Amino acid sequence: MEPILIYDTTLRDGTQAENINFTSEEKVKIAKKLDELGVQYIEGGWPGSNNRDVRFFELAHKEVFKHARITAFGATRKPSTAACDDPNLQALIAAQTPTVAIFGKTWPLHVETVMGNTREENLAMIRESVSFLRANDREVIYDAEHFFDGYKDDPQYAVQTLLAAAENGAQFLVLCDTNGGTLPSEIQSIVAEIHHSLKAGGQSVRLGIHCHNDCGMAVANSICAVQAGATMVQGTVNGYGERCGNADITAIIPILSFKMNQPTIPHQHLSKLKTLSRYVSETANMIPLNSRPFVGKSAFAHKGGIHVNAIMKEPRAYEHMDPVLVGNKRRVLVSDMSGKSNVEYKAKEMGVELGCNGYDCQQIVSEIKAMEDQGYQFDVADGSLKIFLEKFTRQFKPLFDLESFRITVEKDEDRPCTAHATIKIKVDDAHEITAAEGHGPVSALDSALRKALGKFYPDLDVMRLVDFKVRVIDGREGTAARVRVFIESRDHDDIWTTIGVSEDIIEASWQALADSFQFKLAKEQTAAEGKNTP
């Protein structure tokens, strides 16, 4: 079976998203990751529109891509300009890519009302631009912008624009739901109609689909298009894109592969999907969406005791697929709703032996419930849960001990607060005192602890605190109300959350901060021990 081709446009359409920007160098790194995954096309940018994209194509030209064809994106020629004189088309050629994608107008509303152009000149722009690129030996992907809106308005003209591209040598016609307002049933019937009429007309051109997510339908629409005959799917990693985003290839790829048995990327690379999703969100500096299908942290997380019990007997009871196939993992959450099954499962997963030192699981469940009554919430704080289980069963080996810290906060007149922290810790028998500044007390404490530990554990700089949340738990007792602090930390491979609860915000922050560093250091130590065993 021919694979459904995955055309990634994270580096072009994805960067239309609010708050997403990549440097040329970052784009090359993402392109390399996409190539390792095995996508067939990578749209690198629009060289006619900015220098950053010109530079990306210069850099990409020096790289070797094993699977993917790097593609430059642009528009058809301007009205009343010869194709060979059009600066945008010249920039596409200068990008030196094997494949070029150009978009043209389908919808008379855009041709006439928005552009003030004529229908005939629009067709000539498509014909001549495609011919020019083909004459320059490029594979041509023609993106029919607003195809579905145009087709619903004037099907005959919409088909004429497609034929203008196909008859001049375009290898792919990509039908775009640019405004994202089309429903799956419409996509399916329109793609099927186009597919049949092209076939009947003897056209060997292949069909692609490009969907936006304005109705939350981009993935569903892309899948429907494939069912109706499209063999190329355009989308972005994590669905990043303008407004509500593009079709998310981290969902489309596993749906095609596992639910439809359609080959896409090489099968052995499917388990890299989660890492790719994380890599791109990290580079884009976007907090990963936990509920993202297939690759999100919560995609295979189970909280209810009954679910967990069933999953331990038979995962299929509450999971639609094996998370490992996409590089994700099953997570069992421990909370006051949990029974013994959750705690046992979790302890095993974290490598904590519950039976030793004479504790039984029921005691641990009761203690967790008591702590949750005080405000702890372990289902969202895996890092602290592991440390709690180790401490409770007397297996915890601290990788540092706090001796003391002192924090001062200064504020004068209109200037913002500055905070200074001094910390004294002990690692084995060595004592260390350091001081640091920060924008606030927690940031000063984090910097001081990091500096102190850095003397003993130089790998800590890859660890970052990415989120800090404070919540007042019980406001009824006035100033004695407790606060709960969550800290989310990341390194290259993992995200973990730790928790602290106290009447004092600094104390609660310290608990969460200390747990986060203990968790990271223990993780490094386990990894190092793993490497040493043959």
**Identity of the residue numbered 372:** E
User: From the CB of 216, what's the least distance to Zn ion, in Å?
Assistant: 16
Nearer to Zn ion, 104 or 438 (CB): 104
Q: What angle do CA 235, 240, 245 make, to 5 degrees?
A: 80
Cα–Cα distance measured from residue 293 to residue 177, given in angstroms and rounded to the nearest whole number: 22
- Which residue is it, tokens 């979790």? 346
Q: What does DSSP assign to residue 346?
A: H
User: From the CB of 476, what's the least distance to Zn ion, in Å?
Assistant: 52
| Contacting positions for Zn ion (CB under 5 A) | 13
User: From the CB of 9, what's the least distance to Zn ion, in Å?
Assistant: 7
Could you give the strand order of the β-sheet that contains 401-410, starting from the edge strand earlier in sequence? 401-410, 418-427, 430-438
User: From the CB of 44, what's the least distance to Zn ion, in Å?
Assistant: 15
User: From the CB of 180, what's the least distance to Zn ion, in Å?
Assistant: 9
Among 252, 236, 161, CA closest to 205: 161
**Identity of the residue numbered 170:** A
Nearer to Zn ion, 13 or 372 (CB): 13
What residues pair up with 7 in beta bridges, in sequence order?
41, 234
Q: What does DSSP assign to residue 221?
A: H
In the structure, how many helices (H) and strands (E) does the chain have? Answer: 17, 16
| Number of CB atoms found within 10 A of residue 524's CB | 17
Close Cβ partners of 504 (under 8 Å, ≥ 6 residues apart): 483
Nearer to Zn ion, 129 or 236 (CB): 236
Tell me the residue nearest to Zn ion as measured from the CB.
13
Nearer to Zn ion, 245 or 305 (CB): 245
Nearer to Zn ion, 13 or 43 (CB): 13
Close Cβ partners of 40 (under 8 Å, ≥ 6 residues apart): 3, 5, 6, 7, 67, 68, 69, 265
Q: What does DSSP assign to residue 3?
A: P
Q: Is the Cβ–Cβ distance between 324 and 271 less than 8 Å?
A: yes
User: From the CB of 178, what's the least distance to Zn ion, in Å?
Assistant: 6
Nearer to Zn ion, 17 or 311 (CB): 17
Nearer to Zn ion, 214 or 491 (CB): 214
Nearer to Zn ion, 13 or 86 (CB): 13
Cα–Cα distance measured from residue 190 to residue 205, given in angstroms and rounded to the nearest whole number: 16
User: From the CB of 212, what's the least distance to Zn ion, in Å?
Assistant: 6
